């Protein structure tokens, strides 16, 4: 197994390098045979890596502890299902995973590229294969998952207990795939740039793959939050941990990109800007992978002590500098097809959107590097953690959500202030109404009031737009449900985007609710005693322990009451893993749309008392609804159109408003 895996990995390194060189040279010197063999080499790389992956899985399943990686990350007691997790639990396996995903996605992206991209596709392929060669070479030479021990241990060390949670089946692989997938839109942009194309040929594929990696990162981040919330036992889902930030920054930059690319798709503008954006996103993704592998900051996410840090840092630097150099060389090919006509237009609102998103990304980056700056200049260590990010990024995010309500109401090209005011009147009215009502029922803080008001405004804007469009189509003889589906099918990027916007609003609800109205208490209880937390009361019944091979589990039983009414038993758990000298907790959560009641064990004493940390977390339930909705919106906006791929998207309402904006003739299709 080990030999087969190692040999096919070596083959993959060689072929990826060959394909990179062959693609570039073949295109430069116009050698069709070389191009063809380089193109086919990509598929062989995928095959070779598949063999490596299967060998490693096989080694896990057959307990080949002679392979160091298998011995470090599994043992005889490990349930077979966790092989999936053990595969990427360490540096070596996760690098192999990343290489395989990149190879497979590259092959797919190159295969699906439309005909008008064919002439620069070799350069795209070259970029992708260069990135792949880097990952595979590092895997093979520095972190080979197939390297063998000099002896065969009778049992392995076992899997890290923190990873044995359903969230860990999806969060890490999705995050890693998302980070590495940024390479694909980046390679499309860079390929077109090297060829000296004017700039619009790569846009459709760039957008599609940009959204794919963005959706992977977005759902990965949400799953990570969910995992932290149910496992880590501090009642939170996001800590602005340096590695969380490393995944968050490329996601934010990609969010800017997938908005801005729509302007290029529709209006042929922002050609240079989009290339800058995808370069930034790629640079941040490389940085994210660097942070995962021996970055300078300790974190729950680091892959142990890894010497790969410097290599990844150097590659990150190259991955940022070289593309920008090419960009400056090709600067002249990128003139916009049309110009910005008004500061009151969809185009301009996208620019503000990009500005805010990049600001969030750079504030986050600033927070990560500031401790290094402080140490270098004054020699004193400082910490930059949640309070900094909340204070600085909070207002930026709120402004962004506000823009989410205004931007989509703006027509392309030019809006008249009057039509814009008319379109905004109802949403803004609802927003302000919500703020006043919330104030009257006693919500006092400015931030939550503004946030809830803005959420109401944005929701109203979206619903009003859906209603108007549906009504128009309904007047043409469709039933309401059919009219609604037709509306969405008619412009998927737009209406899918709205669904994603709604999911963002749900996230905002959860974030604001839990950050401002969370109740937290530490209680220590003897059996029979009870404690009151807000409206809730818990009565401690007792704790039972049981031995389960690799761990001892302690399951506590508590009876929970709300307003003196029994609402059920709760069973927070703790497990102790003697091999790891490590314990893990699992919170017991009673989740309702209004609030979560959350109990996590903290300590057990000799005298029979038990400590618990108890939270009441308002509105968190909505955050986990946001996840599926986010995916739904993404799928809608990516769903391929039936006919050609190049026709401009049908954008009925906004096209109509384009016209109204130009003529100043306020429309009959307006809001009356």
Partner 1 sequence: MGHSGQGDVRAVNLTLRNGILPILLLGLFLTLSACAREAPPSLEGRAQSIDKQLICLQCPGETIDQSQVELAAQMRAVVRERLEDGWTRDQILQYFVDSYGEAVLAAPPKEGFSLLAWVVPPVGLAGALVLLLLVVRSMRVRGEPAGQDSEQGQMGEYLAMADAEMEGVGDGREGD
441-460: contacts with partner 1 (CB under 8 A):
444-446, 449-450, 453
Note the helical H segments in 331-445.
346-378, 386-406, 417-440
Residue 162 interacts with partner 1 (CB under 8 A): yes or no: no
Q: Does 532 sit near partner 1 (CB under 8 A)?
A: no
Residues within window 596-615 making contact with partner 1, judged by CB under 8 A: 602-603, 613
Instruction: Kindly tell me which residue out of 46, 277, 351, 409 binds partner 1, with binding defined by CB under 8 A.
Output: 351
Stretch of 35-43, 212-220, 538-546, 652-660 lying at the interface with partner 1 (CB under 8 A): 652-660
Stretch that binds partner 1, among 103-111, 163-171, 561-569, 649-657 (CB under 8 A): 649-657
Instruction: Name which of 187 and 269 has its Cβ closer to partner 1.
Output: 269
133 closest CA partner among 47, 10, 245: 10
Question: In terms of C-beta density within 10 A (0-12 exposed, 13-18 middle, 19 or more buried), how is residue 50 classed?
Answer: middle
Rounded Cα–Cα distance for residues 632 and 481 (Å): 18
Sole window of 51-59, 96-104, 169-177, 364-372 interacting with partner 1 (rule: CB under 8 A): 364-372
Smallest gap from Cβ 257 to partner 1, in A, equals: 17
Does 338 bind partner 1 (CB under 8 A)? Our answer is yes
From 1-9, 130-138, 313-321, 419-427, span contacting partner 1 (CB under 8 A): 419-427
Beta strand 551-562 with 536-548 is antiparallel
Instruction: Supply the minimum distance, in Å, between the C-beta of residue 388 and partner 1.
Output: 4
Q: Determine if 663 is a binding residue for partner 1 (CB under 8 A).
A: yes
Whole-angstrom distance, CA of residue 332 vs CA of residue 502? 40
Shortest Å, Cβ 157 to partner 1: 23
The neighbour count for residue 451, using CB atoms within 10 Å, is: 25
Q: Is 359 in the site for partner 1 (CB under 8 A)?
A: yes
Question: Judged by CB under 8 A, which stretch of 3-11, 116-124, 235-243, 531-539 contacts partner 1?
Answer: 235-243
Q: Hunting for tokens 């963005």 — which residue is that?
A: 214
Which of 370, 466 has the CB closer to partner 1? 370
- Under rule CB under 8 A, how many of the chain's residues touch partner 1? 89
Residue 298 near partner 1 by CB under 8 A: yes
Minimum distance from CB of 282 to partner 1 (Å)?
Answer: 21
Instruction: Report the C-alpha gap between 5 and 55 in whole angstroms.
Output: 5
Exactly one of 162, 567, 631, 659 binds partner 1 (CB under 8 A); that residue is: 659
Non-local CB neighbours of 646 within 8 Å, separated by 6+ positions: 114, 116, 204
Per-residue binding letters, 476-505, with partner 1 (x by CB under 8 A):
xx-------xxx-xx---------------
Residue 338 phi/psi, 5-degree rounding, is -135, 175
363 binds partner 1 (CB under 8 A): yes
Cα angle: 452, vertex 457, 459; to 5 degrees: 95
> Considering Cα of 406, then 410, then 416, then 419, what sign does the dihedral take?
negative
Which of 417, 441, 565, 607 is close enough to bind partner 1 by CB under 8 A? Answer: 417
Contact flag: residue 377 with partner 1 (CB under 8 A): yes
Of 46-54, 106-114, 162-170, 437-445, which segment contacts partner 1 by CB under 8 A?
Answer: 437-445
User: Contact between 652 and partner 1 (CB under 8 A)?
Assistant: yes
Shortest distance, position 81 Cβ to partner 1, whole Å: 29
How near is the Cβ of 433 to partner 1 at its closest, in Å? 7
**DSSP secondary structure string, 244-297?**
HHHHHHHHHHHHHHHHHHHHHHHHS--HHHHHHHHHHHHHHHHHHHHHHTT-SS
Comparing CA positions, the residue from 363, 359, 365 lying closest to residue 287 is: 365
Q: Contact at 8 Å (CB) between 389 and 236?
A: no
Per CB under 8 A, 362 contacts partner 1: yes
Q: Which of 178, 197, 15, 211 is nearest to 121 (CA)?
A: 197
Query: Which own/partner pairs from 75-79 qualify as long-range (CB within 8 Å, at least 24 positions apart)?
Result: 75/155, 75/156, 75/157, 75/158, 75/159, 75/550, 76/155, 76/156, 77/158, 77/549, 77/550, 78/156, 78/158, 78/159, 78/550
* In the complex, least distance from residue 376 CB atom to partner 1, rounded to whole angstroms: 12
- Measured in degrees and rounded to the nearest 5, phi and psi for residue 403 equal -60, -30
- Read off φ and ψ for residue 554, nearest 5 degrees: -115, 115
Decide: is 119 part of the binding site for partner 1 (CB under 8 A). Answer: no
What is the CB-side half-sphere exposure of residue 581 using CA atoms within 13 A?
Answer: 0
User: Smaller CB distance to partner 1: residue 486 or 571?
Assistant: 486
Residue 464 within binding range of partner 1, rule CB under 8 A: no
Select the span of 1-9, 145-153, 217-225, 365-373 touching partner 1 (CB under 8 A).
365-373
């Amino acid at each position: 197994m080990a030999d087969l895996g190692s040999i096919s990995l070596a083959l993959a390194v060689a072929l990826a390098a060959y394909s990179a060189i062959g693609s570039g040279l073949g295109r430069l010197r116009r050698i069709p045979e070389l191009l063809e063999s380089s193109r086919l080499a990509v598929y062989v790389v995928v095959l070779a890596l598949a063999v490596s992956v299967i060998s490693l899985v096989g080694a896990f399943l057959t307990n080949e502890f002679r392979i160091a990686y298998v011995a470090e990350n599994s043992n005889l007691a490990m349930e077979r299902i966790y092989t999936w997790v053990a595969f990427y639990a360490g540096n070596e396996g996760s690098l192999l995973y990343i290489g395989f995903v990149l190879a497979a996605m590259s092959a797919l992206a190159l295969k699906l590229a439309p005909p008008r991209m064919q002439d620069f596709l070799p350069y795209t392929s070259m970029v992708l294969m260069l990135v792949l060669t880097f990952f595979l070479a590092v895997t093979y030479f520095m972190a080979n998952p197939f390297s063998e021990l000099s002896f065969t241990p009778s049992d392995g060390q076992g899997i890290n207990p923190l990873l044995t949670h359903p969230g860990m089946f999806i969060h890490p692989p999705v995050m890693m795939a998302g980070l590495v997938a940024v390479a694909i839109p980046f390679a499309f942009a860079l390929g077109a740039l090297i060829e000296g194309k004017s700039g619009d040929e790569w846009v459709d594929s760039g957008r599609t793959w940009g959204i794919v990696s963005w959706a992977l990162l977005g759902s990965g981040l949400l799953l990570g939050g969910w995992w932290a919330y149910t496992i880590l036992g501090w009642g939170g889902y996001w800590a602005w941990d340096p590695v969380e930030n490393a995944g968050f920054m490329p996601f934010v930059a990609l969010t800017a990109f997938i908005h801005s690319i729509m302007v290029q798709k529709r209006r042929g503008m922002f050609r240079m800007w989009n290339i800058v954006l995808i370069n930034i996103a790629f640079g941040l993704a490389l940085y994210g992978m660097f942070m995962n592998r021996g970055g300078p900051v300790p974190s729950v996410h680091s892959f142990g002590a890894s010497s790969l840090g410097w290599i990844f840092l150097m590659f990150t630097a190259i991955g940022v500098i070289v593309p920008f150099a090419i960009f400056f060389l090709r600067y002249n090919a990128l003139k916009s097809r049309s110009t910005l006509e008004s500061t009151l237009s969809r185009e301009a609102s996208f620019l503000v959107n990009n500005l805010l998103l990049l600001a969030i990304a750079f504030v986050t980056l600033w927070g990560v590097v500031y401790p290094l700056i402080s140490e270098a200049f004054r020699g004193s260590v400082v910490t930059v953690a949640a309070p900094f990010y909340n204070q600085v990024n909070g207002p930026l995010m709120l402004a962004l959500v506000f823009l989410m309500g205004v931007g989509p109401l703006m027509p392309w090209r030019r809006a008249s202030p009057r039509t814009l005011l008319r379109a905004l009147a109802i949403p803004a009215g609802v927003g302000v109404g919500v703020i006043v009502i919330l104030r009257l029922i006693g919500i006092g803080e400015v931030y939550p009031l503004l946030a809830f008001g803005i959420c109401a405004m944005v929701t109203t804007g979206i619903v009003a737009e859906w209603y108007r469009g549906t009504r128009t189509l309904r007047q043409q003889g469709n039933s309401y449900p059919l009219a609604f589906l037709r509306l969405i099918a008619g412009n998927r990027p737009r209406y899918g985007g709205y669904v994603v916007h709604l999911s963002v609003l749900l996230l905002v609800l959860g974030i604001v609710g839990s950050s401002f109205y969370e109740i937290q208490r530490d209680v220590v209880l003897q059996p029979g005693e009870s404690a009151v937390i807000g409206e809730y009361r818990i009565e401690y019944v007792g704790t039972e322990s049981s031995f389960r091979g690799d761990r001892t589990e302690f399951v506590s039983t508590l009876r929970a009451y709300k307003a003196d009414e029994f609402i059920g038993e709760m069973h927070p758990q703790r497990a102790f893993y003697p091999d790891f000298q490590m314990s893990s907790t699992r919170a017991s959560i009673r989740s309702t749309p209004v609030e979560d009641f959350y109990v996590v064990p903290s300590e057990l004493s000799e005298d029979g008392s038990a400590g618990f940390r108890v939270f009441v977390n308002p509105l968190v339930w909505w955050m986990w609804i946001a996840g599926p909705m986010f995916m739904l919106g993404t799928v809608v906006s990516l769903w391929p159109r039936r006919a050609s791929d190049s026709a401009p998207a049908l954008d009925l309402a906004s096209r109509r408003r384009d016209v109204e904006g130009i003529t100043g003739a306020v429309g009959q299709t307006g809001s009356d």
